[in-house]
Amino acid sequence: MNYNIAVISGDGIGPEIIREARKVLDTVGAKFGHSFSYTEVLMGGVSIDATGVPLTDEALQTAKNSDAVLLGAVGGDVGKSSWYNVAPHLRPEAGLLALRKGLELFANIRPAVLFDELKGACPLREDIIGEGFDFIVVRELTGGLYFGDRWTKEVDGLRTASDTLIYNEKEIARIAKTAFEIARKRRKKVCSVDKANVLDSSRLWRQVTKEVAEEYPDVELTDMLVDNCAMQIVKNPTQFDVILTENMFGDILSDEASMITGSIGMLASASLGETKLGLYEPSHGSAPDIAGQNKANPIATILSAAMMLRYSFNLDKEADKVEAAVREVLKKGYRTVDIMSPGKTLVGCDRMGDLIAAEI
């Protein structure tokens, strides 16, 4: 079967890591009898240089017409690049926000996986991480405090600011269903995180999530307050399978989770909507300081491509193969500079891609 992928190489190390992800995808296609067609789309700084805006209407339409979108990275050095001497809506990162909005992507999926070979880079004690951990944060992406009404004005002679946190039952139900569907592909456990002891929005969140859970009797649902969850991630991360939470809580918890995996260069992510069309990207930035030097770690992008195989194309076996290939290459001692340790073999971005593709 053929799958159409809109490819956004973007800025900085983006073109290098995308090249390696495509290499791996093509190897998967050859092995399993699939084909992948790639359409290049400009976004970010390169789009500003070419068109004057970070994302054109034509580029967005191309993304909408694809089966999935694979993104490298956008942005540059804020202090040096002319891309930032403009209004915020014309800066490179504004293209990403416009893309998410245009594709109606409301669910951000951030895995937190500690590979056995990288346990030494984890800041947690060995007795805490045990045999390692593997969980996913499912964050609602388009509602809540970040998208509510806000104002700053003088009230009774005092400068006063207000931000409004609003969720309706539809927004909660659709992200909850995403979490339960993901859990069905994993260990069938969802931990819904809220602040129901204080917030009305969290009380509605908890109520609607329990209603959705009735449609998934094979998945275990637990509730946890956000402050406790923040503690449990560093106290006992192995307990989690899928963490479901709202926008601001998810923003904070997913960053916390990323820091206990050893390297941000290993972290994949996906943004999903109500259709199979999703956006897949590494969690790290464009790293302009090492762009073009063959030093970038392509693993996060390759693992993002594996998520694309799993969630947009329903190719679970193929996704498993990619993830297993990454583990095997790490087991054999190959490392890019960001995860290098004594006694291991240093390789560049292109060589790491070659090694992973060879394992497939």
The string of pLDDT tens digits covering residues 220-251 is 999 999 999 999 999 999 999 999 999 999 99
Asked if residue 137 is part of any domain, the answer here is yes
91: CATH: 3.40.718.10
Model pLDDT for residues 81-116, shown as the tens digit of each residue: 889 988 888 899 889 988 998 999 999 999 999 988
Pairing of strands 278-282, 68-73: parallel
Exposed / middle / buried, residue 191 (Cβ in 10 Å: 0-12, 13-18, 19+): buried
Active-site amino acid positions: 146, 195, 227, 251, 255
Asked if residue 10 is part of any domain, the answer here is yes
| 237 plus 354 within the same structural domain | no
| 300 plus 360 within the same structural domain | yes
Closest CA relative to residue 194, chosen from 185, 207, 203:
203
Domain end residue (candidates: 238, 260, 282): 260
- Domain limits for position 47: 1-106+264-360
Quote the pLDDT of residue 218.
98
Asked if residue 116 is part of any domain, the answer here is no
| 144 plus 225 within the same structural domain | yes
| 138 plus 185 within the same structural domain | yes
Q: What's the whole-number mean pLDDT along residues 66-94? A: 88
Enter the pTM of the model. 0.87
| CB distance 133 to 186 below 8 Å | no
| CB distance 336 to 352 below 8 Å | yes
Kindly indicate the confidence band of residue 75, based on its pLDDT and cuts at 50, 70 and 90: very high
| Residue 163 in this model has a pLDDT that exceeds 90 | yes
Asked if residue 111 is part of any domain, the answer here is no
| 3 plus 61 within the same structural domain | yes
| 236 plus 189 within the same structural domain | yes
Q: What dihedral angle (degrees, nearest 10) is formed by the CA atoms of 246, 251, 254, 259? A: -160
Order the strands of the 242-245 sheet from edge to edge.
Answer: 35-40, 2-10, 68-73, 278-282, 268-272, 107-113, 134-140, 242-245, 189-194, 220-225
| 53 plus 74 within the same structural domain | yes
| 254 plus 268 within the same structural domain | no
Q: Tally the domains of the chain.
A: 2
Asked if residue 138 is part of any domain, the answer here is yes
| 202 plus 294 within the same structural domain | no
Domain end residue (candidates: 260, 281, 314): 260
Domain end residue (candidates: 235, 260, 285): 260
